[in-house]
Amino acid sequence: MTATPGATPTIVLVGHGMVGQRFLEALAERGLTATHRVVVLCEEPRPAYDRVALTSYFSGKTAEDLSMTDMEFINDHGIELYVGDPAETIDREARTVTARSGRVFGYDTLVLATGSYPFVPPVPGKDAEGCFVYRTIEDLLAIEEYAQTATTGAVVGGGLLGLEAAGALKGLGLDAHIVEFAPRLMPVQVDEGGGAALLRTIAGMGLSVHTGVGTQEILTAEDGSVTGMKLSDGSELATDMVVFSAGVRPRDQLARACGLTVGERGGITVDEQCRTVGDAHVFAIGECALAADGRVYGLVAPGYEQAETAAATIAADEASFTGADLSTKLKLLGVDVASFGDAHGTTEGCLDVVYSDSRAGLYKKLVIGPDGTLLGGILVGDAEAYGTLRALTGSVPPVSPESLVLPAGADSGAQLGPSALPDEAIICSCHNVSKGAIRGAVTDHRCTTVPEVKKCTKAGTGCGSCVKVLGQLVNAELEASGVEVDKGLCGCFAQTREELYEIVLALRITSYQDLLDHHGREGARGGEGCETCKPAVASIIASLAPAIGASGYVLDGEQAALQDTNDHFLANLQKNGSYSVVPRIPGGEIAPEKLIVIGEIARDFGLYTKITGGQRIDMFGARVEQLPLIWARLVDAGFESGHAYGKALRTVKSCVGSTWCRYGVQDSVKMAIDLELRYRGLRSPHKLKSAVSGCQRECAEAQSKDFGVIATANGWNLYVGGNGGATPRHADLLAQDLSDAELVRLIDRFLMFYIRTADRLERTSVWLERIPGGLDHVRDVVVHDSLGICDELEQLMRAHVSHYRDEWAETINDPEKLARFVSFVNAPDTPDPLVAFVPERDQIKPDLPLLNIGLRPADDILEGSAR
C-alpha cells in the first residue's frame, strides 16, 4: 500500500531501540502522534530496552527490568508496534516498506533507526560452536546457557562491552580472558596511564588480560566446538567459548538496497536535520547514521539528540544536529572510568596535569590548553568530579588545575563546586540540559526539589551521572534566590538526623522530651514535638539503646508515644483497620511442625495467608484484641516477631545454596539465617532488606537489597545500597572474596555507619548516592577505617546483638502492656465495627462497601480508640 493523499499522514519507524523509543517520545511531545499514524517495525522479539545496562542481566536484572517501553504510552498514543517483524525492503518510489511478515506499509515519512551490528573479525573458526557476540538479550541468553558446560571463556575486544562481557563470564563461574589488539584496554577512552591503572585493577579481580595481540584463528575439536584461540604472537589460549566484542558497524543494508547514499566506511549519510541525502522523506538516526560532520556516533546521548532533531524537523520546527559531546562516564566491573573533551591531548601546545596512585588504582589526567583552557581529561578509579569537569570543558577553570585532580585535603587551593560553572555549561549531556536551564527551572518555574527539576528539564533522567551535580545546583540556586535551604530534621529541630544521632550518643540522652527541651529550636522547647521528629528520634534511641542505657523496647514509657501506628501495635495496619502478623522465618527455612502451627493459627482466627516476596508467611485480618493471643501461640511454637511493622531489618532472603543446588558454591541458607538472627530488631532510618545467593546465578536477588551477599569460590562478595522498590537501584560491590568473619564484620560496620549518618526515612540506596564521596567514601570508612571509628561501630553492633529481646514475647508477658491492645479504651470488650470481611478464593478479604479507609492516622478512626 502507498500513502494516500488526503489521508492521515504516516510515519514509519524502522528499528525500536533506545534511540527509536526516544524518537517516539519526541513525536508525542510535539503532538505528532495525534496528527499522524505511527508504525514501528522492531526486529527483536521485544520492544526497546536499555542496551547500555545490558550486562546487569547477569547480576539479577530481568528483561522486564531493562525494558524502556511503557506499553501504556504506546497504546495511549495509538502507536502500531510490530515486534519480531523487521523491515525487509524499502520502495522509495512507491514510498512503501515491506516487513518480514509480508505486511506492506505506506509512508509519508520514513525514519531509519536500525542501529549497528557486532563486528566479528574474519578469522578461521569464527562461526564454530561456542562462538558468540555480545549485543542483545538473546545473545546473553545463549551465552548463559552455553556457559553451563564451560570452564573457560575468552573475550575478543577490550573496550567497554568487552570488559563487561568478561565480567559476565567471570560472574557465570568461568575463568575469563580478555584479548585486545591495542596495547591497552579501552584504547578509545583512556590513554596509556589510564589503561595501566585499569589493567591493574581488573587483573586484581582475577581476569586475565592479553593486550597487544590479535586473534588469528579459533581452534576447534572434531565436533566443531571451540577448544582455544591462536594469537598473533604465536601463543595459544585454551578456552571453551569465545565472545566477540570487537566493535560495531552501522546497519545500513536496507539503505544500500534502496539506493540511499552511504559513507565509504558505512553509515547512512544525513544532513544536519538528519534527513538522508537525496530523499527528504527519509531520515536516519542513531548508530546507523553518518552525521553531517562525517562521524557515526556510537553513544546513546548523540542518538537521543538526533531523535529530537528528526522529530522537530518533521514538526516543521527549526532544529539541527551538528555534532555531539563524546564524553562518557562508565562503571566497568565496579571501576569508575570517565573521559571528556580532548582526552588524548591532540590540541597543539596543550599540557597535561596528571595525578596517579597505582596502589589505589587511581589515575586522573587533565588536558590544559596554552591559555589555561580545560580541553579534556581522563579519570580512572575515581570519577567523582566528572560532572563538574565535563561542564567546565572549553573554559578556564576558576581554580588551579592541580586542585581539580588532587584528593580532597591534598591541595591548599580552593575546591571547585558546580556553582562556579557558567550558565551555558551542559550539566546533562543525555538531554543537553545546561546549568542555565536548571537555574531557570528553580527561579522561573518554581521548582524546589531535584525530582521537580527532573520533570521540568529531563536533566538526570538519562544515565544519571549528573544527579549529584543537579542537587547541588538546585540547593545553590534556592539559597541564591534568598530561599533558605533548611537542613534541619523538622520544625522542632535545626539539626539533621545525623547530628541528633551524635548528640544522643555523646550525651547518652534516653528521652525524646529531654532532647527536645535542650536541643530543639527555641520555639519548640517545652512542646510536644511533631509527627516527623518523634518517630525519627524514637528510632535513634532504640538503635542506641544498649550503648546509652535506654530501654530497647519500643513500647516502654515515653517511647510508646513516639511510635508510628504500626509500631504502636507491633503489627501492620491494613486498609480496613485490621492487622497483619508476620513471624520471623530466618532464611526462609521452616520445619513442617512450624508450618502446621501457622496453618492452625490462621484457621482458628480466620486469617488470610500469603507467602511474601521475602520468604515469609503473612497472616492478614487480625483484630487488635486478637494480636496478643496470636503472638502467644506463635511464641510457644518458637516464633518471634518478624519486624514487618518497623523501620528495622525485615528479612534475609536466600536460595537453597550448596546444600541442595548443583551450582551452589557456599551454604547460603546458613549464612542468611546467621545474618538475620544477628541483625533482627535493629532499628534504622528505614527498613532494611537483605539476601544471600549461593552462587553467581543470583537466585536470591541479593543485588536489589540494602545489603546483599553472593557466594564465590573464594568466599563472599558484599553488595550494598540496592533497592528493588518504587525506584530500583542496583547494589554496588563493597568488597569481595570475604571469609565468614570478614563478611559479618563489614556488614556490622556498614549498617551502623548507615544508621549513624542517614537522614530520616532514607533507604541505603538514596543515602549511598547522597553521602559525600558516595561508595568510595563508605568503602574508605567501613573497609579501610579512614575515620578511625570502626571499633566503635563494631562495639555498637555487639551491644545490639547481646541485648536483643523479642518484642512479642516482651508484650505478652506484661499485663500492663497488654492493656493497650483493645479497640476502645472505654469498652475493651467491644470489637471495631469497621473491621469486616467477605469470602474470596477460599479465604477472606476486607469488606469496605461504604468506606475506603486506607492507612489513616490513629485518631481519625473513632473517637476513644486506643490507637
For residues 10 and 37, is the Cβ–Cβ distance under 8 A? yes
3-state DSSP call for residue 845? strand
Alpha-carbon distance of 162 to 157, in angstroms, equals 5
Alpha-carbon distance of 680 to 805, in angstroms, equals 9
Nearest CA to 227 out of 125, 321, 135, 325 is that of 125
Return the bridge partners of 290, or none: 269
For residues 576 and 583, is the Cβ–Cβ distance under 8 A? no
For residues 598 and 609, is the Cβ–Cβ distance under 8 A? yes
End-to-end CA, the chain: 69
Record the cell numbers describing residue 166, joined without a space: 568478561
Record the cell numbers describing residue 696, joined without a space: 553467581
- 238: Cα separation from own chain's centroid: 36
- 526: Cα separation from own chain's centroid: 43
Alpha-carbon distance of 531 to 114, in angstroms, equals 54
β-strand 579-581 against 837-840: which pairing, if any? unpaired
What sign results for the dihedral spanned by CA atoms 573, 579, 581, 587?
A: negative
Helices marked H in 582-732:
592-605, 627-636, 657-660, 668-679
- Residue 639 neighbours by CB distance under 10 Å: 23
For residues 615 and 606, is the Cβ–Cβ distance under 8 A? no
Q: Print the SS3 string covering 637-702.
A: CCCCECCCCCCEEEEEEECCHHHHCCCCCCCHHHHHHHHHHHHCCCECCCCEEEEEECCCCCCCCH
Q: Is 661 annotated as a binding residue?
A: yes
For residues 337 and 189, is the Cβ–Cβ distance under 8 A? yes
Alpha-carbon distance of 819 to 799, in angstroms, equals 30
547: exposed, middle or buried (C-beta count within 10 Å: 0-12, 13-18, 19+)? middle
Q: Please give the helix or strand (H or E) that residue 237 lies within, else none.
A: strand 236-238
Residues 6+ apart with CB under 8 A from 573: 565, 566, 579, 855
3-state DSSP call for residue 154? strand
3-state DSSP call for residue 1? coil
Record the cell numbers describing residue 709, joined without a space: 551477599
Record the cell numbers describing residue 729, joined without a space: 537501584
- 24: Cα separation from own chain's centroid: 25
Record the cell numbers describing residue 831, joined without a space: 470489637
Record the cell numbers describing residue 422, joined without a space: 557558567
Q: Is 699 annotated as a binding residue?
A: yes
- For residue 761, the one-letter residue type is L
- For residue 838, the one-letter residue type is V
Alpha-carbon distance of 39 to 81, in angstroms, equals 6
Report the half-sphere exposure of 679 (CA within 13 A, side-chain side).
32
For residues 12 and 111, is the Cβ–Cβ distance under 8 A? yes
Please state whether 423 falls in left (phi above 0), alpha (psi between -120 and 50) or beta.
alpha
222-260: b (≥16 Cβ within 10 Å) or e: eeebbbbbbbeeeeebebbbbbbbbbbbbbbebbeebeb
Return the bridge partners of 236, or none: 230
Alpha-carbon distance of 118 to 251, in angstroms, equals 10
Give helix then strand counts, H and E, for the chain: 29, 39
User: Residues at the annotated binding site?
Assistant: 655, 661, 695, 699
Q: Residues annotated as binding site for [4Fe-4S] cluster?
A: 655, 661, 695, 699
**Residue ranges at the known binding site for siroheme:** 699
